């Protein structure tokens, strides 16, 4: 598989993000300077400049990773999960950041909340980060 | 297209060679999952719901005016280095009787606050690790300020 070495230029720091109520910036007017290699990323993401990010359809949802799979993260995600069910056509995974977090989350019953809402409760591991 | 709380948004990651990834907080991922699209998690909670604050990662701050607040003012000076803190876990700032007497400041009274907003040279002096423990016991998760005493910045 040909690796794209340009992937480091876009979406690598908070300055390159947009708020949920904002729109996709044009490459030329983005807050952070974006090099020419990064312009290749824009077609990959298939977003148009000016497009609102809210409402972008998703196929997969992944709560987890060692970065953001803390017990506190799972707790707040569970509070959100109580508010609805996983949408049709979406595959949603919850992966605790470690086995310790996994045990603690299960002791609190978070896994049942997620499963009731249609999320998959997975074992701690690298999961989507390596897929 | 995946909504992910990880930090991996490389082209072709997240399970598909053409996969696209949007990185966001766990609360936002869960909101996107139940919506089927990127959604504002704050709209999922009633505005008076206490969970909204956590979902939106809002933190309450306590302003601590004054510069050069040293560690002896942050922790009871009677506690030797490394000793455990009193059960109430509260850090008290004491005024010191010097040429410039300063009124003591109590950190109590601001419920649910976790960010301390400080001035210049905060945490100067000695006993930085006890200072850190005192603030953590009180529930301070972060300090935002003008500058920090060297000993405190090294042991933050």
Q: What is the pLDDT of residues A30-67, one digit of tens each?
A: 555 555 555 555 666 778 888 899 999 999 999 987 88
Closest-CA residue of B relative to A74 is: B26
Counted domains in chain B: 2
**What CA–CA distance (Å, rounded) separates B65 from B85?**
25
The pLDDT value recorded for residue B58 is 61
Domain that holds residue B12: 2-55
**In this complex, how many residue pairs, one in chain A and one in chain B, have their CB atoms less than 8 Å apart?**
157
Nearest to A59 among B2, B7, B9 (CB): B2
> What ipTM score was computed for the predicted complex, to two decimals?
0.82
Cβ–Cβ gap B20/A90 under 8 Å: no
Same domain, B116 and B141: yes
HSE at residue B88, side-chain half, CA atoms within 13 A, is: 7
The three-state secondary structure class of B81 is coil
CATH of the domain at B75: 3.20.19.10
Same domain, B64 and B139: yes
The pLDDT value recorded for residue B102 is 44
B17 touches chain A (CB under 8 A): yes
Exposed / middle / buried, residue A30 (Cβ in 10 Å: 0-12, 13-18, 19+) = middle
Same domain, A66 and A111: yes
The pLDDT value recorded for residue A61 is 95
pLDDT tens, position by position, B61-116: 777 777 888 776 776 544 444 455 554 444 444 444 343 444 444 555 455 667 78
Per-residue exposure over B80-119, b if at least 16 CB sit within 10 Å of its own CB, e if not = eeeeebeeeeebbbeeeeeeeeeeebebeeeeebeebbbe
Same domain, B83 and B51: no
Same domain, A75 and A111: yes
Same domain, A26 and A66: no
Q: Chain B residues with CB inside 8 Å of A44's CB?
A: 11, 20
Cα dihedral value A108, A129, B27, B132, nearest 10? 70
**Rounded mean pLDDT, B5-30:** 82
B84 touches chain A (CB under 8 A): no
The pLDDT value recorded for residue A106 is 97
Strands B92-93 and B105-106: antiparallel
The whole-model pTM stands at 0.63
pLDDT band at B122 (very low <50, low <70, confident <90, very high): confident
Domain that holds residue A81: 60-129
Distance from CA of B141 to the nearest CA of A (A): 14
Which residues make Cβ contacts (< 8 Å) with residue B21, sequence separation at least 6?
B1, B2, B4, B8, B9, B10, B13, B14
Same domain, B48 and B67: no
């Amino acid at each position: 598989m040909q690796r794209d070495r340009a992937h480091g230029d876009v979406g690598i720091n908070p300055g390159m993000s947009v708020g949920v109520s904002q729109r996709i910036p044009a490459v030329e007017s983005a807050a952070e300077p974006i090099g020419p290699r990064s312009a290749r990323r824009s077609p990959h993401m298939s977003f148009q400049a000016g497009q609102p990010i809210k409402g972008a359809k998703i196929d997969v949802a992944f709560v987890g990773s060692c970065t953001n799979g803390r017990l506190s993260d799972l707790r707040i995600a569970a509070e959100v999960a109580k508010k609805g069910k996983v949408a049709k056509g979406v595959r949603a995974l919850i992966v605790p950041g470690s086995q310790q977090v996994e045990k603690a989350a299960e002791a609190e019953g978070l896994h049942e909340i997620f499963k009731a809402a249609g999320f998959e409760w997975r074992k701690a591991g690298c999961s989507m980060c390596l897929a | 297209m995946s909504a992910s709380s990880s930090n991996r948004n490389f082209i072709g990651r997240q399970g598909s060679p053409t996969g696209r990834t949007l990185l966001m907080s766990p609360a936002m991922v869960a909101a996107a999952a139940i919506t089927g699209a990127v959604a504002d998690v704050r709209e999922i909670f009633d505005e008076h719901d206490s969970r909204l604050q956590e979902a939106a990662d809002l933190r309450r701050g306590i302003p601590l005016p004054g510069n050069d607040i040293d560690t002896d003012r942050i922790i009871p000076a009677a506690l030797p280095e490394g000793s455990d803190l009193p059960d109430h876990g509260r850090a008290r700032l004491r005024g010191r009787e010097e040429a410039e007497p300063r009124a003591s400041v109590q950190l109590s009274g601001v419920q649910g606050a976790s960010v301390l907003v400080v001035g210049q040279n905060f945490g100067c002096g000695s006993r930085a690790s006890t200072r850190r423990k005192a603030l953590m016991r009180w529930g301070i998760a972060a300090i935002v300020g003008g500058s920090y005493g060297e000993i405190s910045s090294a042991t933050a």
